[in-house]
Structure 1
């Protein structure tokens, strides 16, 4: 005899959301099938409906499905990698990033620069720093919203995003390695040739 399922086993919360989504889709499909059956019945009885004409119920169901499709499509829009943006999109994204770095990161997380913990006040002129800080900022936006990450999001952000990013940026071999309190230098981190993957192809 097969083992009986243990009623005490916990069910992942996401599974309930999947079930509710399936129920909604099933209801929409049931509505569409009912509308098509009604249209076929009307045609069989010599009704006024034309073969290609949709009933009100079918139209409403189609509109609902289209609306759900639009919502899903909007939900899957992701921000592009900042270094692949062209002006003015790059300038707008960088402006927002500067506000976050200078308003949140610098006063909250950056102590006085030292030989072991470097920082450049012109960090936005270092492409590597821009890329890493932008990635940390995107993660911060997602992981500080309890609706999308629960209550552990900030802890995950510190562990997986902020701490590694700051270690890389402030290390002696990082992008600020040639910068001191009295000197700003960016040439030491720029390659002589830009990889083709970082350039835009001709349209």
Structure 2
């Protein structure tokens, strides 16, 4: 059997590249395990910022604009950041959402042209817009991103904003009310009875 020639087959070049990638990933994971078990200052549940770090390299912190690492909750912003974020949101709502997804308003599907004066609408639409930015970007969303955005973000957002008892309930074609949902007097059931 020692005289048997080796089988003649070619190994695809991609297989070698895959093996090298796997080796680099194993080395990076080994370095992360060593750092975590040695008490390198990282919390037990914290992930490294960059999964592609080589052995011996330190993970770089993602650079944040204006001190935010991730997009902020719009209602927590002060001017001028709030104004800038709202301006971008208005462009998206009026340029993409309204013409593409909102049919004519009706009693069952409300819409207020002054939606930006309703804090609940601003908060929900901003969250929907942030998800849209991520899930329609080919670099981050993959093939299913748009479907996920429709199912998980757009549909629930519209279900909450457009019903007859939603934030636009007091708004009709001739009338606009933003604080119609705020009770003026606390119902008696909520008051504590003095004995």
Common fold: TM-score over 0.5 = yes
- Equivalent position to 2:61, from 56, 70, 73: 70
In structure 2, distance between residues paired with 1:19 and 1:127: 51
CA pair 108-20 structure 1, distance change in 2 beyond 3 A? farther
- Equivalent position to 1:157, from 138, 144, 149: 149
Deviation at 1:137, TM superposition (A): 0.3
More helix by share: 1
CA pair 18-104 structure 1, distance change in 2 beyond 3 A? farther
TM (norm. structure 2) is: 0.64
CA deviations on 1:85-138 (whole Å, 9 max, x unpaired) are 111111111001000000000000011000000000000000000000000000
RMSD: 3.0
CA deviations on 1:47-81 (whole Å, 9 max, x unpaired) are xxxxxxxxxxxxxx98x53xx4134x65x921111
Unaligned runs of 5+ in 2: 1-19, 32-54, 185-195
CA pair 190-82 structure 1, distance change in 2 beyond 3 A? farther
Deviation at 1:189, TM superposition (A): 2.6
Unaligned runs of 5+ in 1: 1-15, 28-60, 193-203
Q: Could you say which residue in structure 2 is the equivalent of 1:85?
A: 77
How many residues end up aligned between the 2 structures?
141
TM (norm. structure 1) is: 0.61
CA pair 95-24 structure 1, distance change in 2 beyond 3 A? same
In structure 2, distance between residues paired with 1:22 and 1:191: 59
Runs of 4+ deviating beyond 6 Å: 16-19
